[in-house]
Structure 1
């Protein structure tokens, strides 16, 4: 089986779908001739032509609006927003039009749009290239929200997203694009590295949206996370000596409540880890859901380890990230029941 990093896996997913389904188009800023700022779409325009891989102007609202029109008329557009920080000009199109279309037309119309969004920090991109806004989109009814943590899931989830008849916001953790990444929060991934990260099949396969994965079985504490922080949590659990069960959500909406609740009922303790800010972050929804589902099984308060409640701090990027030390402290705290 081929070895691919996440960039290569995502490229392979679009290559497979462009070759398999003539209704699939790829569109966004610099996705064609240049191959994308992170080279995720490299070579696709040369292979499929300018009518299938379309360079768009710097107008995020226009990119999404065009994709909606394409979707309503039978295409399956895969739109790239160059950085998550740039998606806000398109927020009205996503929230007011794309997300509501199927419901407001009683199912007569739908737009199977996939919006690829590089998210998170770790590349020293500063305040305007490093945000993690997944909680904003999780709040909007009518769209699905996913974030993979490894190349295999990235390809399988992207294929599932493109084939889904509902719109999907597909967040891609930039710190995992090129690997390798061993969970050390003070060691950034090297941009445009060619190091492989995992085994990924060449052809078509799907990872189901809405199904979490237990990446590390354990009995003492449940750790719930997604994206880059899956690897940091694994490294922290190993270093702590605590028998932690780590769950990679993979899909934020729909949320796999059954898997996370079953784990927390087993361990009685839970630590939630994400890169985005703490206040009103997606961890708050996870904590509320688990309180409703698992209250009588909890042996300690649920603990959250997150980014700071500040604008993204460029000068303190690595302190901002939930690192191993902060996760280990949380694991020890919930295990002690204090």
Structure 2
């Protein structure tokens, strides 16, 4: 793959277009890459993430599957063990539950179970999150289920360029990767994305803004929220270190620790439920690495402990800029 910093030719893309482009690059560069999922072929996927790929690469490589998430993932396991590189799509993260047993029992454990003789180099794409007025079971954000499973990496980009580079890096990884794609960000901002193949290292966060007073940590759809909050409080003289985690497992422990040791204050933002959310692990990480540097308790701004609601009630469920600003001021004024 080509280094991102050396790329010259770029194109304006949304996040979903960057995902589509990454899949195109993967299919072109490696004949062992296969795509599997419900309606991903002729229809190009519910969100058109695979639009045009079956026409370009054929039905043997971009495969429409039955409506069986367990079957899709189980088939991917067999293909991966046999030398293929499957990229399987869950139409929505809320549909991943029937495949939970396959992921927990087989996807994450075959390397250990076979004493390293076999691995499962597959990618599970999972559009996630609230904010688009989807029906029930379509808006879940349950990344913590999978960060609790040793043996699988969990990646969640917030920008088009990161989405392409991280998806190609996920495919190159010798072990399975759950690749989360925010529904809210699919057709949000556009940015210049290199047209060739490149990889962004899994396990490395990104410093979005440099600041000195408080550290803001988020991923996926919450990154634009914390960026807006940081911009607003900057007008009042509060300087925020803004970090996009990008990878949820393994976490970039060094970047997180360096930032909170500099600021002494932290606010964690995620749309998943508060209880059992990944924010709790981040609080523990900060406690383990940086307790003596902290000047205030860590604040969390999260979704509530209810299923994601329907319709306009999503706006009351999701973390907002105003809730983040209030948390920032609490830690700064502690």
Task: Please confirm whether the aligned pair reaches a TM-score higher than 0.5, indicating the same fold.
Answer: yes
- Per-residue CA deviation, residues 9-30 of structure 1 (Å, 9 max, x unaligned), is 0000010010000000011000
Corresponding position of 1:318:
315
Which residue matches 1:329? 326
Task: Give yes or no for the alignment of 1:29 onto 2:45.
Answer: no
- In structure 2, the partner of 1:217 is 210
Q: Which runs of 5+ in 2 are unaligned?
A: 1-9
Alignment of 1:35-54 (within 5 A): 35-54=44-63
Deviations 1:17-56 (A, max 9, x none): 1000000001100000000000000000000000000000
Partner residue in 2 for 1:198: 191
Q: Could you report, residue by residue, the CA deviation over 1:117-152 in whole angstroms, capped at 9, with x for unpaired residues?
A: 000011101331100010000000000000000000
Partners of 1:177 and 1:11 in 2: CA distance: 11
User: d(CA) in 2 for partners of 1:97 and 1:233?
Assistant: 37
- In the alignment, is residue 116 of structure 1 matched against residue 132 of structure 2? no
Residue 296 (structure 1) aligns with: 292
2:300 and 2:126 map into 1 onto residues whose CA distance is 25
1:305 to 301, 304, 308: 301
- Per the alignment, residue 285 of structure 1 pairs with 281
What residue in structure 1 maps to residue 184 of structure 2?
175
1:152 corresponding residue in structure 2: 161
**Corresponding residue of 2:222:** 229
Q: 1:237, CA displacement in angstroms?
A: 1.0
Measured in 2, the distance between the counterparts of 1:157 and 1:329 equals 32
Q: CA deviation at 1:323?
A: 0.3
In 1, Cα distance between the equivalents of 2:17 and 2:247? 21
Measured in 2, the distance between the counterparts of 1:129 and 1:118 equals 9
Deviation at 1:240, TM superposition (A): 1.6
Asked if the contact 1:221/1:243 (under 8 Å) is kept, the reply is: yes
Question: TM-score of the superposition, structure 2-length normalised?
Answer: 0.95
- 1:170 deviates by 0.3
Once superposed, which parts of structure 1, at least 4 consecutive aligned residues long, lie more than 4 Å away? none
Equivalent pairs counted in the alignment come to 321
Q: Which one of the candidate residues 8, 12, 25 is aligned to 2:21?
A: 12
Shift of 1:111: 1.2
Calculate the aligned-residue CA RMSD, in Å.
0.7
Output the CA distance in 2 between the equivalents of 1:314 and 1:332. 30
Aligned to 2:111: 102
Q: 2:272 aligns with which of 258, 273, 276?
A: 276
